[in-house]
Amino acid sequence: MTELYLIRHGQTEYNVARRVQGMADSALTPAGRADAQALGRGFRQAGIQFNTAYASDLVRAQDTAQLALAANNQASQLVKVSKGLREENYASFEGRLISERATALADILPDPSTATLAQIADGVHQLDVAAEDHVAVQQRFDHAIRQIVTQDAGRVMVVAHGTVILLWLEALGYPLHGQSTLHNASVTHALYADGEFKFDMFNSLAYVEAGKQAE
């Protein structure tokens, strides 16, 4: 059995600036670094040690993983990198203001402000075919996650990105109730066995909060 700790990276400069991030890289802010360290301290307080750690190849994910592991007294733990864990590819919209993307999508979506993540992905793909549609994102991430959980047993840390995690959960049938974002440094926890994921924690900041109290 594999115990999966699926984590969104810490806050970045693009998060603060309200820019489309996707596969564009943006550094963690001081708050993002502090939350990643608090996350690690929270794991340490809970007695959670990881057998394996993964991150996407984007720097914000790798930095979050390394900071959390170091705060969990696992600084020597190697962070394995997987391109399949990347955020959605927004192509020519990468780095642009989110408001600019919404303006462009207004021509093809009735109300971009209420559109689902899948509708936004498909709309961006319609505007720029180099961008991924939602099915491509889901399939890519699912393949990467299943590779990880089938080859690594025990507790596995995976640091990835908000939209790709939510689209994947939607594909699995997890009830998101319209949620379109995850907290930075949040944990979604699942047990994997016999080809199935069983979730018992979603978008939780409990470890970050515990780590801040332990500082």
Pairwise CA distance, residues 27 & 1, whole Å: 34
Q: 């994997």: which residue's tokens? A: 192
Catalytic residues: 9, 87
Q: Cβ(89)–Cβ(23) under 8 Å?
A: yes
| DSSP-derived 3-state class of residue 181 | coil
Owner of token pair 């690690």:
40
d(Cα 162, Cα 164) in Å, to the nearest integer?
6
Strand-strand pairing, 196-204 and 187-193: antiparallel
Lookup result for tokens 């564009």: 24
In a 13 Å sphere around the CA of 18, the CA atoms on its Cβ side amount to 6
